[in-house]
Structure 1
């Protein structure tokens, strides 16, 4: 079972605005980490957490080349809302909301968060 995924951010306030908005579009709760903590934490459906914070080695954050974190959307409309919320909060488009052939036609979309981390969301994705 996946416990958590950690992504880097050098701007906690900017990351919180982006993730609170995009997760709200999926029906996920906002992050509730106390402001004095150096990280943000989001508790996701199914028990896993998304953690965002500075690099532990003190160097500037970089993103994974080839890495993508995917989230589930309850329906196709939520995919579009997630994408729009991300663009409105500093994200950049990596794939418009549309049926994705690589996912057997499931509705999906991709963004990069303000720190360059690649994210995707799908509705109706059948695993296996």
Structure 2
């Protein structure tokens, strides 16, 4: 079972502000803040972290690495994507239907270049 995902950052304060704005759009909030690390989740349980690398080397993006977040509806996908762009992130694929008839998603990158995907697909299908 997957417990969480961590992404490295070279600008923890800026990354924290970015993720607070973006993740709020899908109901996640900051759950932890300690030296060098900020956690986010739902109901006080952290499942996503941004941190400065423990080895004190520069954080880098992975080629082929992507973190996917589930939205409750298409409007949350749109809001997440727009919040990411307005907070300084970059576009990797505007919101829209893709892959399957009811799969709605968008792609963007955070301030460090980490690729993020937000999607909604009704569970009742």
TM-score normalized by the length of structure 2: 0.88
Instruction: Name whichever of 116-125 and 67-76 sits farther off.
Output: 116-125
TM-superposed deviation, 1:43: 2.1
Structure 1's consecutive aligned runs of 4 or more residues displaced over 3 angstroms after TM superposition are none
Q: What's 2:71 paired with?
A: 73
Unpaired segments ≥5 residues, structure 1: none
Unpaired segments ≥5 residues, structure 2: none
SS in 1 for 2:83: helix
Q: Is the Cα–Cα contact under 8 Å of residues 68 and 119 in structure 1 kept in the other structure?
A: yes
Q: Is the Cα–Cα contact under 8 Å of residues 2 and 48 in structure 1 kept in the other structure?
A: no
CA distance in 2, matches of 1:74, 1:43: 15
The answer to which structure has the higher strand fraction is: 2
CA distance in 2, matches of 1:21, 1:64: 23
Superposition map of 1:49-68 within 5 A: 49-68=47-66
CA RMSD of aligned residues (A): 1.8
